Structure 1
Amino acid sequence: MTYDLKDPATPILRGRLLVAAVNVLERVGGATGLSWFLCRDAGLHCLRAIDYTEGLTTSPVWPPAENMVKAAAVNESTLSSDGYLKLVQDEADAEVNGGAGSESSTASSGNWRFLSCRDFYKVYRSGRTTPVEIAEQLVGLIKKSDEDSPPLRAMWSWDKELILEQARASAKRYKDGQPLSIVDGVPVVVKDEVDVQGYETGVGTTFLNKGKPALEDAHFVAQLRAHGALIIGKSTMHEIGLGITNCNPSTCTPRNPYHVDHHTGGSSGGSGAAVGAGLCPIAIGCDGGGSVRIPSSLCGIYGLKPTHGRVSSRGEYPLAPTVAVSGPMCATMEDLAIVYAIIAGKDGHDSFSLYQPNVALPKPVSTPRALDGLRIGVYRRWFEDVTQKEVAAKCYDMLDRLVQHHGAVLVDIEIPELFQSGKAHNITIVTEMLTKLNDHRNKLNHQSRLEMAMMSSLETRDYVKAQQQRTRDIQFLKKLFGLRKAVPGEESEVPVVDVIATPTIAKLPTRIHPDALHFGESNYRNTAKVMQFMMQANFTGIPGITAVAGYSSETAKDSSGVSTAADYESGLPIGIHFMSQWWDEKRLIQIGAICEQELAKAGGRQKPRLWLGQYAL
Structure 2
Amino acid sequence: MTTHTPDNPAIERLEAALEAITAAGAEGSRIFTRLYADSARAQAHAADQRAGAGKALGPLDGRIVSIKDLFDVAGETTTAGSKLLQGCAPADRDAPVVSRLRAAGAVIIGKTNMTEFAFSGVGINPHYGTPGNALDSTRIPGGSSSGAAVSVARGMAEIAIGTDTGGSVRIPSALNGLVGFKPTQARVPRDGAYPLSYTLDSIGPLCRSVADAASADSVLAGLAHQPLVPREVRGLRLGVPRGLLFSQADEAVLAAVEQAVGKLLGAGASVSNEAFDDLLGEPFRLQARGSLTAVEAAWIHREGVKSRPDAYDPIVLGRIRSGQALDAASYVGIQQARAALMGALDARMTRLDALVLPTLPLLAPRIDEVQNDDEFLCINARLLRNPSVFNFFDLPALSLPLPRQGGLAVGLMLVGRRGADRELLALGAAVEGVLSGT
1:245-288 CA-to-partner distances (Å, cap 9, x unmatched) read 11010222111011101011110111111111122110001000
Deviation at 1:595, TM superposition (A): 3.1
Query: CA separation in 2, counterparts of 1:359 and 1:289?
Result: 27
1:187, 1:229 within 8 Å by CA — same for their partners in 2?
A: yes
TM-score (norm 1): 0.66
Q: Which runs of 5+ in 1 are unaligned?
A: 1-115, 347-357, 483-494, 553-569, 605-617
Deviation at 1:392, TM superposition (A): 1.6
Q: 1:450 to 1:181 in 2, by over 3 A?
A: same
Deviation at 1:460, TM superposition (A): 1.7
Question: In percent, how many aligned pairs have the same letter?
Answer: 28
1:306 matched to 2:190? The reply is no
Query: CA separation in 1, counterparts of 2:269 and 2:18?
Result: 46
Select the residue among 442, 466, 472 that pairs with 2:340.
Answer: 472
Deviation at 1:524, TM superposition (A): 2.5
Query: CA separation in 2, counterparts of 1:143 and 1:407?
Result: 46
* Aligned residue number for residue 131 of structure 2: 254
Query: CA separation in 1, counterparts of 2:353 and 2:147?
Result: 32
Task: Report the number of matched residues.
Answer: 432
* Aligned residue number for residue 225 of structure 1: 102
1:185, 1:228 within 8 Å by CA — same for their partners in 2?
A: yes
1:297-329 CA-to-partner distances (Å, cap 9, x unmatched) read 011000110001011112212221211110011
* Aligned residue number for residue 408 of structure 2: 572
3-state SS, counterpart of residue 185 of structure 2: coil
Q: What is the root-mean-square deviation in Å for CA atoms of aligned residues?
A: 2.4
* Aligned residue number for residue 61 of structure 2: 184
* Aligned residue number for residue 395 of structure 1: 257
Deviation at 1:162, TM superposition (A): 2.0
Select the residue among 308, 315, 318 that pairs with 1:447.
Answer: 315
Select the residue among 20, 26, 50 that pairs with 1:141.
Answer: 20
* Aligned residue number for residue 117 of structure 1: 2
3-state SS, counterpart of residue 301 of structure 2: helix
Q: 1:422 to 1:440 in 2, by over 3 A?
A: same
TM-score (norm 2): 0.91
Tell me: higher relative CO, structure 1 or 2? Use CA pairs within 8 A at least 6 residues apart. 1
Select the residue among 515, 524, 527 that pairs with 2:377.
Answer: 524
1:189, 1:284 within 8 Å by CA — same for their partners in 2?
A: yes
* Aligned residue number for residue 31 of structure 1: none
* Aligned residue number for residue 424 of structure 2: 588
Deviation at 1:412, TM superposition (A): 2.6
Query: CA separation in 1, counterparts of 2:25 and 2:68?
Result: 18
Select the residue among 264, 267, 275 that pairs with 2:141.
Answer: 264
* Aligned residue number for residue 402 of structure 2: 549
Q: 1:514 to 1:397 in 2, by over 3 A?
A: closer
Query: CA separation in 2, counterparts of 1:130 and 1:276?
Result: 20
* Aligned residue number for residue 362 of structure 1: 228
Query: CA separation in 2, counterparts of 1:591 and 1:322?
Result: 27
2:66, 2:109 within 8 Å by CA — same for their partners in 1?
A: yes
Q: Which residue identity is paired with 1:577? A: M
**Once superposed, which parts of structure 1, at least 4 consecutive aligned residues long, lie more than 6 Å away?**
519-522
Deviation at 1:462, TM superposition (A): 2.6
Deviation at 1:404, TM superposition (A): 1.4
Q: 1:173 to 1:345 in 2, by over 3 A?
A: closer
1:445, 1:520 within 8 Å by CA — same for their partners in 2?
A: no
1:59-90 CA-to-partner distances (Å, cap 9, x unmatched) read xxxxxxxxxxxxxxxxxxxxxxxxxxxxxxxx
Alignment of 1:372-383 (within 5 A): 372-383=234-245
Alignment of 1:197-216 (within 5 A): 197-208=74-85, 210=87, 212-216=89-93
Deviation at 1:193, TM superposition (A): 1.6
Query: CA separation in 2, counterparts of 1:527 and 1:132?
Result: 39
1:539 matched to 2:416? The reply is no
Of the structure 1 ranges 301-310 and 408-417, higher mean CA displacement relative to structure 2 is found in 408-417
- Give the number of the structure whose alpha-carbon radius of gyration is greater: 1
Q: Which runs of 5+ in 2 are unaligned?
A: none
